[in-house]
DNA sequence: TTTTTAAGTGTTTTTATAACAATTAAATTT
DNA sequence: AAATTTAATTGTTATAAAAACACTTAAAAA
């Protein structure tokens, strides 16, 4: 037996929702689609899965081709398979989401590709069923961040506690008491204090911290769950 | 433009991990595969996605065709796309997991199809990468059940609190104080006490409860998280 | 009538979370 | 040089949730 005869084959694509945080708001990265249909319209990073690559390989390749990003946090989100989702031909799409340090990659992205960051509240229309993918990714990132330390992926390797708090407040659309926040985040043992200050945010300056990578991996599974009144934490 | 020319098409399948609970242990349902390759070996419920159906439709259809089950809890788990996962031809598989009331469907399954229940600790070898799917499904069910009331799907519509506790203790491989358990589970407002007892488990008998479906949906997103020392709660 | 078995229930202790305000470092202004 | 401004840093108290703990009760069986 060589093939499963009588079965219909179809196209398989990968779409990536790329999240970044600029200190002000959570953003996603969109590109202008380069081919028909919907050529020139805003789209997630996407492309077809090639015969010799796995889904993870495909998503990493596409992310690199379209943004120059490599080695970033990338996680499979959900697979979208409505028969009518692509008007040209049936295409099932495996959606991934990525979390990146927006500062590290911004220049590279803008120079080499026609990509742009949009705040989640002011996202333009995206093609096909991609709005649904974005909504699901937003839910997933909140859901996961409530228990796992994934949001550090959005910050530079050196960051301050006020920056971290600001990120959490943004993602969960809430405000957190800073005394309680720093107590809890320091209690995880995940942060190493550096003898260096970030002077950009204030006159006094705030100490930089970096992740204790050993504790990071060992504590990844159960980090903390300390969001008082989340806008919504819901399952994907 | 009619088609995406130059792209390779591939086969898309769906595999379902079906969980059941018999009061003793958590079990999964396997069938003897009916076609080559691996014909006659134990397999998850699987089949190819047809041209006119969505992934959810495909998984529901396959579950019904192979087990007679309909209208059960079914959730997309993860998509597996290693190029070599099927030796005959590249086939990407979207895995789903289902939670069913084992008593309700047992007879039907055994009579009509060659399906069999296996405890998670004594599962036979399954084909391809299905062991990986099962492992991921086990993790996911624990992860989700720690915060959402999905385990009720594994019980009959009338159940006792000792039965419920037994289920939680099984899924999380831990033991829970029965006073604390009943306090917390009753405090959710999800249970309605019936004027009827289950006499099977003890001389005294235990009161039956049923789900308050109104509260069930409204409380689904944040149920409780009360597993003292879970064997492991980890993200998929 | 006694025994056996599991169901059902309350209180105390401990821990975690939430609420709350004063002090400090460092630049800027006067 | 002193005063002002701004955000960072830090600790205690109050409240709520979780954990620990043991006796009573219903009903069948002996």
Q: Which of A66, A79, A78, A82 is nearest to A141 (CA)?
A: A78
Question: pLDDT for B4-13, tens place per residue?
Answer: 989 999 999 9
| Nearest neighbour of A83 by CB, restricted to B36, B51, B94 | B51
pLDDT at B223 over 70: no
> Looking at the complex, does the CB of residue A235 fall below 8 Å from at least one CB of chain B?
yes
Which residues of chain A does B222 touch, with a Cβ-Cβ cutoff of 8 Å?
233
Footprint of strand D on the protein (CB under 7 A): A 160-162, 178-180, 182-183, 197, 201-207; B 177-180, 184, 197, 199, 203-205, 224-226, 228
B206 CA → C1 C1’, Å: 25
Q: Please enumerate, as own/partner, the contacts of A182-190 that have beta carbons within 8 Å and a separation of 24 or more.
A: A184/A224, A184/A226, A185/A161, A185/A224, A186/A161, A188/A149, A188/A215, A188/A219, A188/A223, A188/A224, A189/A215, A189/A219, A190/A149, A190/A215, A190/A216, A190/A219, A190/A223
Digitized pLDDT (tens) for each residue of chain A, 236 residues in all: 679 989 999 999 999 999 999 999 999 999 999 888 999 999 999 999 999 999 999 999 999 988 888 999 999 999 999 999 999 999 999 999 999 999 877 666 666 668 899 999 999 999 999 999 999 999 999 888 888 899 999 999 999 999 999 999 999 888 999 999 999 999 999 999 999 999 998 999 999 999 998 888 877 765 555 555 544 443 33
pLDDT value of position A216:
84
Which residues of chain A does B55 touch, with a Cβ-Cβ cutoff of 8 Å?
79-81, 92
- pLDDT above 70: percentage of residues in chain B: 89
Looking at per-residue confidence, does B34 or A211 come out higher?
A211
Mean pLDDT of chain B, nearest integer: 90
Question: pLDDT for B63-119, tens place per residue?
Answer: 998 888 899 999 999 999 999 999 999 999 999 999 999 987 766 666 666 889 999
């Amino acid at each position: 037996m060589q093939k499963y005869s009588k079965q219909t084959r179809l196209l398989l694509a990968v779409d990536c929702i790329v999240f970044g945080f600029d200190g002000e708001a959570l953003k996603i990265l969109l590109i202008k689609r380069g081919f028909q249909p919907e050529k020139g319209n805003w789209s997630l990073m996407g492309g077809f899965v090639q015969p010799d690559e796995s889904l993870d390989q495909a998503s990493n390749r596409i992310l690199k081709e379209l943004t120059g990003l490599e080695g970033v946090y990338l996680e499979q989100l959900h697979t979208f398979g409505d028969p009518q989702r692509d008007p040209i031909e049936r295409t099932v799409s495996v959606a991934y989401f990525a979390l990146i340090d927006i500062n590290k990659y911004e220049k590279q992205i803008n120079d080499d590709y026609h990509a742009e960051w949009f705040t989640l509240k002011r996202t333009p229309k995206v093609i096909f069923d991609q709005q649904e993918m974005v909504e699901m990714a937003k839910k997933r990132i909140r859901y996961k961040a409530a228990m796992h330390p994934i949001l550090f992926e959005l910050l530079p390797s050196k960051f301050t506690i006020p920056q971290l708090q600001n990120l959490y407040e943004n993602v969960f659309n809430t405000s957190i008491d800073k005394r309680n926040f720093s107590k809890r985040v320091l209690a995880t043992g995940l942060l190493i204090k550096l003898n260096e200050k970030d002077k950009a945010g204030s006159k006094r300056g705030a100490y930089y911290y970096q992740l204790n990578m050993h504790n990071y991996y060992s504590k990844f599974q159960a980090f903390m769950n300390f969001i008082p009144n989340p806008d919504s934490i819901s399952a994907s």
